[in-house]
Amino acid sequence: MNRKILVVEDDRKIAATIKLYLEREGYDVTIAYNGRDGLKEARTQKPALIILDLMLPQLVGTDVCRILRRESEVFIIMLTARTTEPDKVRGLNLGADDYITKPFSPRELVARIRAVLRRKRQEPASESEELRIGDLKINLDQREVALNEKPVYLTPAEFSLLETFVRAPERVFTRQQLVERAFGDEYDGLDRTIDAHIMNLRKKIEPDRLRPTFILTVYGVGYKFSAANHVS
């Protein structure tokens, strides 16, 4: 199991505190104090998870996240002093898997890390578990998605949600059920967090995200995945 964690935080006291708590939990921790070094370490260290501050010198955290999401499925938890919901949702829109606001409890951060890392790649039921729904192809083994034979790059959170949906097509999930099944019961996101992940997922797999045909909203309840409109 990969237990490498990269902390990208310019406040040396905060970085040292995070490192201390994580090493007590048995994680192998590397620290970078600016965005450019963080990006470099992410590419060379190949960590399982990155704790990424938003306000960084040289290259801000949002840019680091955006670049990494084009290259990797590494789990990312954003640290932010911004506490408003739109700011948090913006971080998720960039591809972060979770966020935590400053000031924070180191124990809470450790719990969040455990919850995110618990989103393991599930073992396939067969050698190659591949689903085709219309023009959408999903390989659950390789965690790969293609639309019209073109690769679709999903974040780990987005793929976990999609996998939850396609394993139970036509079932209506509440937001809380999606949290529990896709992210684990320790996940502490808001309803709006799930909505943001769904919005991002729709942008990537729906032929027309304004008129979704795969992931449907069931008003007053939640969401469901429907294949009915894609049966040839």
Mean pLDDT score, 210-226: 90
pLDDT digits (tens, 9 = 90+) for 80-134: 876 666 666 667 777 788 888 888 888 889 988 888 887 654 434 444 578 888 8
Mean pLDDT score, 18-36: 94
Output the pLDDT for position 127.
Answer: 43
Domain locations in the chain?
4-117, 130-230
Q: In whole angstroms, what is the distance from residue 145 CA to residue 154 CA?
A: 8
- Confidence band of 158 (pLDDT split at 50, 70, 90): confident
Residue 56 has pLDDT above 90, yes or no: yes
Output the pLDDT for position 184.
Answer: 67
Residue 22 has pLDDT above 50, yes or no: yes
Residue 232 has pLDDT above 70, yes or no: no
- Per-residue HEC secondary structure of the chain comes to CCCEEEEECCCHHHHHHHHHHHHHCCCEEEEECCHHHHHHHHHHHCCCEEEEECCCCCCCHHHHHHHHHHHCCCEEEEEECCCCHHHHHHHHHCCCCEEEECCCCHHHHHHHHHHHHCCCCCCCCCCCCEEEECCEEEECCCCEEEECCEEECCCHHHHHHHHHHHCCCCCCEEHHHHHHHHHCCCCCCCHHHHHHHHHHHHHHHCCCCCCCCCEEEECCCEEEECCHHHCC
Output the pLDDT for position 120.
Answer: 54
**How many CB atoms within 10 Å of residue 195?**
15
Mean pLDDT, the chain, rounded, equals: 84
Nearest to 52 by CA among 66, 41, 40, 38: 38
The structure's pTM equals: 0.61
Half-sphere exposure in the Cβ direction for 45 (13 Å, CA):
23
Residue 216 dihedral angles phi and psi, to the nearest 5°: -105, 145
Domain 130-230: CATH class, spelled out:
mainly alpha
Mean pLDDT score, 48-56: 93
Superfamily of segment(s) 4-117: Response regulator (3.40.50.2300)
Which structure tokens are listed for 174?
């509440």
pLDDT digits (tens, 9 = 90+) for 173-203: 998 888 877 776 555 555 567 888 898 899 9
Contact at 8 Å (CB) between 151 and 227?
no
Output the pLDDT for position 210.
Answer: 84
What percent of the chain has pLDDT above 90? Answer: 35
Which structure tokens are listed for 74?
């590494």
Mean pLDDT score, 139-168: 87
Q: How far is CA 76 from CA 8, 131, 156, 226, in A?
A: 11, 27, 9, 29
Evaluate the CA torsion angle 77, 175, 93, 153 in order and state its sign: positive
pLDDT digits (tens, 9 = 90+) for 66-90: 899 888 889 999 888 766 666 666 6
Between 50 and 82, whose confidence is greater? 50
Output the pLDDT for position 41.
Answer: 96
